[in-house]
Chains A and B, each alone.
Chain A
Amino acid sequence: MIEQKHTIIEIEVADLLKKTEEYHKAGHRLVQIGTTPLGDRYEINYTFTTAWDFESLRITVHDGDELPSISGIYWGAFIYENEINDLFGIPVNGMNIDFKGHLIETRIPTPFKNPPKITKVPKGGDA
């Protein structure tokens, strides 16, 4: 029984700061930033709300892409952005508090990063 409404809006990375600013001006709070690794790409959801109607901005990024930080707009966003940096290996530029990969220290670096594409091993080799 889920009573909360959730709208997902897909946007481009370039529009992220502008859209976030709009939400901030309209008095929304930042609920979360969450990343989903999907094999060849990552989806990042920025969830905002004023009450119990949630709205998520969804951007899609790939390995090697960089994200702009929204911590200039929502001060508390640094915790999620550092998490993205530490667990997924997606660099976030311009965070207000940058832990440089030491917020969550893990045994293997960036454990949630997509696995590298398997290149076909030629037949007849030593392996």
Chain B
Amino acid sequence: MSYITKSPWIIHYDGSSCNGCDIEVLACLTPLYDLERFGIVNTGNPKHADVFLVTGGINAQSEAVVKNTYEQMPDPKVVVAVGICACTGGVFRECYNIIGGVDKVIPVDVYVPGCAARPESIIDGVVRALGILEEKRAKMAEKGGK
């Protein structure tokens, strides 16, 4: 597990989810699943964060907030779309206020399906995201070195 060289911090934003995935993201951080044992901390500040978890599809009002939060995060950064709504819009894809999945607004690295996504699959998604984060970091170091 060489990629855990720095404790990755995550930031979570609810695009337009029904709460189901939100509370499962929070459940990941509590005693039964305990993501914090990997050094993962849930932060409220985008400038501290490496991993961006978005739950729910993107709607008219959350579009700007998601973009803004993403831009505030320092490079390298990864985005995890949690739940089927965040992947494609899910059952709400036909609602008038839904633009679609998170990838309509910002680039997404890992898609976690499920309604609601289970804590196990969220953890799996975050761990995969960490692998991608490490690759991105290596690429950045390469570019910086030349």
Q: Do chains A and B make direct contact within the complex (CB under 8 angstroms)? A: yes
Least CB distance from A82 to B in Å reads 15
Q: How many residue pairs between the two chains, A and B, have CB atoms under 8 Å in the bound complex? A: 14
A123 within 8 A of B: no
Least CB distance from A118 to B in Å reads 20
Cα(A105)–Cα(B62), bound, Å: 10
Instruction: Name the residue on A nearest B96 (C-beta).
Output: A111
Tell whether, in the assembled complex, residue B61 and residue A108 are in contact, meaning their CB atoms are under 8 Å apart. no
Cα(A118)–Cα(B60), bound, Å: 28
Contact with A along B55-76 (1 / 0, CB 8 A): 0000111000000000000000
Residues facing A in B85-116 (CB within 8 A) are: 96-97, 99
Choose from A105, A107, A111 the contact partner of B99 (Cβ within 8 Å): A107
Cα(A107)–Cα(B104), bound, Å: 15
**Nearest 7 Cβ contacts at the A-B interface:** A107-B60, A111-B96, A105-B61, A106-B97, A107-B97, A108-B96, A105-B60
Cα(A111)–Cα(B96), bound, Å: 8
The interface residues of chain A, by DSSP majority, are classed as loop
The interface residues of chain B, by DSSP majority, are classed as loop
Instruction: Name the residue on B nearest A107 (C-beta).
Output: B60
Question: Which residues of chain B come closer than 8 Å to A107, judged between CB atoms?
Answer: 59-60, 96-97, 99
Residues facing B in A93-127 (CB within 8 A) are: 105-108, 111
Given contacts A105-B61, A106-B96, A107-B99, 9 further A-B contacts (CB under 8 A): A105-B60, A106-B97, A107-B59, A107-B60, A107-B96, A107-B97, A108-B96, A108-B97, A111-B96
Cα(A13)–Cα(B96), bound, Å: 31
Cα(A105)–Cα(B65), bound, Å: 14
Question: Which residues of chain A come closer than 8 Å to B99, judged between CB atoms?
Answer: 107
Question: Which residues of chain B come closer than 8 Å to A106, judged between CB atoms?
Answer: 60, 96-97
Cα(A111)–Cα(B98), bound, Å: 12
Cα(A107)–Cα(B60), bound, Å: 5
Cα(A108)–Cα(B99), bound, Å: 11
Least CB distance from B56 to A in Å reads 15
Question: Which residues of chain A come closer than 8 Å to B97, judged between CB atoms?
Answer: 106-108, 111
Question: Which residues of chain B come closer than 8 Å to A111, judged between CB atoms?
Answer: 96-97
Question: Which residues of chain A come closer than 8 Å to B59, judged between CB atoms?
Answer: 107
Instruction: Name the residue on A nearest B60 (C-beta).
Output: A107
Residues facing A in B11-47 (CB within 8 A) are: none
Instruction: Name the residue on B nearest A105 (C-beta).
Output: B61
